[in-house]
Copies of this chain bind each other. A is one copy, B any other.
Amino acid sequence: MARGTLNRRVGISDVAEKAGVSLATVSRVMNGNFTVAADIAERVRAVATELNYQPNPTGRNLARGKTDTIGVVVPDLGNPTFQTVLRGVSRAAAQDGYRVLIADSSEVSSEESILAGEARRRCDGVVLCAPRMSDAELAELAPTLHPLVLVNRTTADPSPSLTVDYGRGIQDLAAHLVDLGHTRLAFSAGPANSASNALRLAGLETFMSAHPGVELQILPGGSTFEDGHASADAVLASGATGILAFNDLTAMGLLSALNERGVNVPADVSLTGFDDIQFAAYTTPPLTTAAVPSMDVGEQAWRQMRALLNDTDIPDPALVFAPHIVVRGSTGPAPR
Q: Are A90 and B69 in contact (CB under 8 A)?
A: no
Q: How many residues of A sit at the interface, in one of the four size bands? A: 35 or more
Q: Are A121 and B56 in contact (CB under 8 A)?
A: yes
User: Cβ of A321 < 8 Å from any Cβ of B?
Assistant: no
The distance from the CB of A309 to the nearest CB of chain B, in whole angstroms, is 15
Q: Are B62 and A90 in contact (CB under 8 A)?
A: no
User: Cβ of A256 < 8 Å from any Cβ of B?
Assistant: yes
Residues in B neighbouring A186, C-beta threshold 8 A:
none
The distance from the CB of A263 to the nearest CB of chain B, in whole angstroms, is 13
Other than the given A58-B61, A252-B279, A279-B279, 10 more pairs (CB < 8 A) read A58-B58, A58-B67, A62-B62, A78-B278, A94-B104, A99-B122, A101-B102, A252-B282, A256-B281, A283-B283
Can you offer 11 A-B residue contacts whose CB atoms are under 8 A? A57-B122, A58-B58, A61-B61, A77-B87, A99-B102, A99-B118, A100-B102, A101-B101, A252-B282, A253-B282, A255-B282
- Expressed in whole angstroms, the Cα–Cα distance for A77 and B91 within the complex equals 9
- Expressed in whole angstroms, the Cα–Cα distance for A100 and B69 within the complex equals 12
Q: Per-position contact with B for A68-90: 1 when CB-CB < 8 Å, else 0?
A: 01000000011000011011001
Interface of A is mostly: helix
Q: Are B102 and A90 in contact (CB under 8 A)?
A: yes
Chain A residues close to B by CB (< 8 Å): 54, 56-59, 61-62, 67, 69, 77-78, 83-84, 86-87, 90-91, 94, 99-104, 106, 117-119, 121-122, 225, 252-253, 255-256, 259, 278-279, 281-284
Q: Which 5 A-B pairs have the closest CB atoms?
A: A284-B284, A77-B87, A279-B279, A58-B61, A57-B122
Q: How many identical chains are in the complex?
A: 2
The distance from the CB of A37 to the nearest CB of chain B, in whole angstroms, is 29
- Expressed in whole angstroms, the Cα–Cα distance for A59 and B122 within the complex equals 10
Residues in B neighbouring A62, C-beta threshold 8 A:
58-59, 61-62
Residues in B neighbouring A99, C-beta threshold 8 A:
101-103, 118-119, 122
The distance from the CB of A99 to the nearest CB of chain B, in whole angstroms, is 6
Q: Are A78 and B87 in contact (CB under 8 A)?
A: yes
- Expressed in whole angstroms, the Cα–Cα distance for A252 and B86 within the complex equals 24
Take A56-B121, A59-B62, A99-B122 as given contacts and tell me if A104 and B77 are in contact as well, using a CB distance cutoff of 8 Å.
Answer: no
List the B residue with the shortest CB-CB distance to A255. Answer: B282
Q: Are B101 and A69 in contact (CB under 8 A)?
A: yes
Q: Are B59 and A121 in contact (CB under 8 A)?
A: no
- Expressed in whole angstroms, the Cα–Cα distance for A283 and B118 within the complex equals 40
Residues in B neighbouring A118, C-beta threshold 8 A:
99
- Expressed in whole angstroms, the Cα–Cα distance for A255 and B284 within the complex equals 10
